[in-house]
């Protein structure tokens, strides 16, 4: 891309987000520490969080915490090498495994970038390799992850810092920093697209599986809570990779430049912190009652129905703007039933259409609600002994609320008065008015009872 164009296409942000330089400094320092603290507080010796709080509340302990020898002890050469091999493996299979080339959304210069879609096959191969290792070498090799957990976190953190430093340097043109690049590439290798779904998500699955194996090694069995966390989170990851092209319409790809936050967020935060519940359960097995388990499974099903339903609906609509017909899951109550709906939309002066019915007619970010409900299901599997595994649900609420505000601001700027019109029609931000949803649920139940929902090849009732 010629350098003249580059400054036009990668326009400088005029307003700070995340509290500007102070926020950036705090994030770069506090977030990595938080990942260590949360995982160290799950350590085997002593009950985690309370012991840690007692330890940290003593100022003398705090002073000794940041000594050079303590900091260097976080680095583990074996873990670092293993992590680099893992990344090299991902890059090799990204190139070797064939995939469909899909187009991203339109860029400011009117062009569209192409992306190779083979994440799901990359994951399938990885799971196959795990199976082969398990059946030939047993579960011992997987204990490596538990033994080197802190070292692996450090390795991913170093990689994330190094990569963000690289893209920072690469964004300099003629000695001047132009802006964080939206789509930094090395040749045809799109760094953000690769980092967004592969190293973090595949690592998360591997971490969870090895935590279940560790529990099996210690107890001789896997608890139902551990089994469900591996299935639920594994499903979420498989779903993300299976629906890989859907990432191309998300804010991370369309709006956010690639810098430290996305780099660290994917390598370390998703890769290791998202495995916190599994690690907690590996070190502190929790035994849930049947009723609790049924409740949690229902929560997961409800959350997933909303989350996947909404994201697919938008993705389908954006890819087929002339064909608003869409087959969706009707309601939470009828989660086993699909129905075809004719999506309603408004046309905007900016060119894109905004859906005003289906999931997107219920709230402007109903997909966030689904995601948040899912996060509750995961945390509840860890019981009520400790707040540590609930970090995710708290952090995720903050992330989603903040994300909603940012997206709202972006859309207001893009769609201007059309956005106000849209907000008048779809009034709720994340949580639709409960009363409204209840009525919609009752309405669908009535249709279901009266046999109004047809069952043809398109309008089909499908069991999940
Ligand atoms: P969304 O998928 O919600 O996309 C927002 C964009 O969709 C808007 O900027 C706008 O873009 C378009 N849009 C908004 N309203 C409409 C409408 N009515 N009709 C059609 N298009 C519309 O954003 P995210 O990228 O934030 O989230 C994607 C998913 O990822 C969510 O389910 C979220 O929960 C999940 N997520 C998960 C995280 C995790 O760590 N687990 C982190 C972040 C997100 P345009 O300019 O094209 O109109």
Structure tokens at 148: 């080197």
Q: Is the pLDDT confidence value at 81 over 60?
A: yes
Q: How many residues are given for the chain?
A: 464
C-alpha to C-alpha distances, 97 to 92, 125, 185, 292, nearest whole angstrom:
8, 9, 20, 42
The Cα–Cα gap between 392 and 396 comes to 6
| Higher pLDDT among residues 125 and 317, named by residue | 125
Q: What is the pLDDT of residues 149-179, one digit of tens each?
A: 999 999 999 999 999 999 988 887 655 555 6
Is residue 404 within 8 Å of 430, Cβ to Cβ? yes
pLDDT value at residue 256: 82
Please tell me which residue, 305 or 51, carries the higher pLDDT value.
305
Report the distance separating Cα 235 and Cα 300, nearest Å.
11
- Whether 433 has a pLDDT exceeding 70, the answer reads yes
Report pLDDT for 462: 24
Does the beta carbon of 366 sit less than 6 angstroms from any atom of ligand 1? Answer: no
The confidence score (pLDDT) of residue 13 equals: 63
When pLDDT is averaged across residues 405-423 and rounded to a whole number, the result is 93
From the CA of 411, give the closest atom in ligand 1: 9
State if residue 348 touches ligand 1 by the CB under 6 angstroms criterion.
no
Of 17, 239, 244, 250, which is best to mutate to test ligand 1, by the most ligand atoms within 8 angstroms of its C-beta?
A: 250
Average pLDDT over residues 343-353: 88
- For ligand 1, the distance from its centroid to the CA atom of residue 403, given in whole angstroms, is 9
Is pLDDT at 445 greater than 80 in this prediction? Answer: no
Tell me if 352 CB under 6 Å of ligand 1: yes
pLDDT of residue 3: 44
Question: Could you give the CA distance from residue 380 to residue 240 in angstroms, rounded to a whole number?
Answer: 22
Quick check: CB of 407 below 6 Å from ligand 1? yes
pLDDT of residue 442: 59
For the segment 300-316, the average pLDDT, to the nearest whole number, is 89
Res. 109: pLDDT tops 90: no
Work out the pLDDT band at 421, boundaries 50, 70, 90. Answer: very high
Whether 415 has a pLDDT exceeding 70, the answer reads yes
The whole-number average pLDDT for the span 396-406 is 94
Enter the tokens of residue 366: 């109903």
Span 302-321, mean pLDDT?
Answer: 85
Q: Is the CB of 314 under 6 A from ligand 1?
A: yes
Output the average pLDDT for the chain.
Answer: 84
Does the CB atom of residue 403 touch ligand 1 within 6 A? yes
Distance CA 291, CA 299 (A): 12
Q: Which protein residue's CA is at the shortest distance from atom 46 of ligand 1?
A: 411
Tell me how far the alpha carbon of residue 250 lies from the centroid of ligand 1, in angstroms: 5
Radius of gyration of the chain (CA): 23
- Beta pairing, strands 189-190 & 325-329: unpaired
Mean pLDDT of the 433-439 span: 62
Helices marked H in 221-265 — which ranges?
Answer: 224-242, 251-254, 260-264
How large a percentage of the chain has pLDDT more than 90?
56
Does ligand 1 lie within 6 Å of residue 360's CB atom? yes
pLDDT interval class at 63 (50, 70, 90): confident
The per-residue pLDDT for 254 is: 82
Given the CA of residue 361, which atom of ligand 1 is nearest to it? 18
The answer to whether the CB of 126 is under 6 A from ligand 1 is no
Q: How confident is the model at residue 449 (pLDDT cuts 50, 70, 90)?
A: low
pLDDT of 54 higher than 60: yes
State pLDDT tens for residues 129-142: 999 999 999 999 99
DSSP string, 341-401: EE--EEE-TTS-EEE-SGGGGT-TTHHHHHHHHHHHHHHHTTTTS-SGGGHHHHHHHHHHH
CA nearest 122: which of 178, 194, 59?
194
Q: What percent of the chain has pLDDT over 70?
A: 81
pLDDT higher than threshold 80 for residue 329: no
Mean of pLDDT values over 119-127: 97
What mean pLDDT is predicted for residues 394-402?
A: 94
> Measured between alpha carbons, how far is 75 from 73 in angstroms, rounded to an integer?
5
Render pLDDT for 217-251 as a digit per residue (tens, 0 to 9). 999 999 999 999 999 999 999 999 998 988 887 88
What single string gives the DSSP state of each residue in 75-135?
A: --HHHHHHHHHHHHHHHHHHHHS--EEEEEEE-TTS-EEEEEE-HHHHHHHHHHHHHHHHH
Q: For residue range 254-299, what is the model confidence (pLDDT) as tens digits?
A: 878 899 999 999 999 999 999 999 999 999 999 999 999 999 999 9
Q: pLDDT tens digit string along 9-34?
A: 555 566 767 777 888 899 999 999 99
- Judge contact between 396 and 372, C-beta under 8 A: yes
- How far is residue 177's CA from residue 160's CA, in Å, rounded to a whole number? 20
Distance 106 CA to ligand 1 centre (A): 16
- Identify the weakest region by mean pLDDT among 125-139, 255-269, 403-417, 432-446: 432-446
């Amino acid at each position: 891309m010629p350098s003249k164009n580059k400054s036009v296409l990668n326009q400088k942000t005029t307003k700070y987000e995340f509290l500007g330089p102070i926020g950036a400094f705090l994030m770069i320092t506090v977030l990595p520490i938080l990942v260590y603290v949360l995982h160290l507080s799950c350590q085997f010796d002593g009950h985690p969080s309370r012991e840690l709080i007692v330890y940290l509340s003593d100022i003398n302990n705090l002073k000794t915490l940041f000594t050079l020898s303590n900091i260097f002890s976080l680095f583990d050469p074996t873990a670092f090498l293993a992590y680099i091999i893992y990344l090299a493996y991902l890059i090799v299979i990204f190139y070797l495994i064939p995939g469909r080339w899909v187009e991203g959304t339109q860029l400011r210069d009117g062009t569209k970038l192409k992306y190779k879609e083979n994440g799901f096959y990359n994951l399938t191969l990885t799971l196959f390799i795990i199976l082969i290792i398990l059946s030939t070498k047993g579960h011992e090799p997987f204990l490596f992850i538990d033994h080197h957990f802190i070292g692996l976190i450090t390795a991913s953190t170093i990689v994330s810092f190094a990569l963000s430093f690289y893209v920072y340097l690469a964004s300099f043109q003629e000695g001047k920093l132009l802006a964080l690049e939206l789509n930094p590439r090395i040749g045809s290798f799109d760094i953000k697209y690769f980092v967004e779904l592969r190293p973090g998500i595949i690592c998360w699955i591997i971490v969870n599986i090895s935590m279940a194996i560790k529990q099996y090694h210690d107890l001789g069995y896997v608890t139902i809570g551990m089994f469900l966390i591996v299935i639920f989170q594994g499903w979420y990851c498989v779903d993300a990779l299976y629906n890989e092209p859907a990432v191309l319409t998300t804010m991370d790809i369309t709006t956010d430049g690639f810098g430290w936050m996305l780099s660290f967020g994917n390598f370390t935060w998703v890769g290791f912190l998202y495995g916190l519940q599994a690690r907690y359960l590996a070190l502190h097995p929790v035994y849930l009652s049947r009723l609790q388990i049924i409740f949690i499974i229902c929560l997961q099903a409800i959350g997933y129905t909303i989350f996947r339903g909404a994201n697919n609906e938008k993705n389908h609509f954006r890819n087929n703007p002339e064909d608003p017909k869409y087959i969706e899951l009707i309601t939470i109550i009828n989660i086993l039933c699909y129905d075809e709906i004719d999506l309603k939309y408004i046309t905007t002066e900016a060119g894109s259409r905004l859906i005003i019915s289906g999931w997107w007619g219920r709230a402007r970010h109903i997909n966030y609600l689904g995601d948040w409900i899912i996060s509750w299901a995961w945390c509840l599997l860890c019981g009520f002994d400790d707040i540590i595994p609930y970090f995710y649900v708290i952090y995720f609420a903050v992330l989603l609320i903040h994300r909603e505000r940012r997206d709202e601001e972006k859309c207001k700027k893009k769609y201007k008065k059309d956005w106000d019109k849209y907000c008048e029609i779809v009034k709720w931000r994340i949580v639709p008015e409960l009363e409204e949803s209840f009525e919609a649920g009752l309405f669908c139940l009535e249709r279901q009872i009266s046999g109004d929902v047809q069952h043809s090849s398109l309008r089909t009732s499908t069991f999940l």
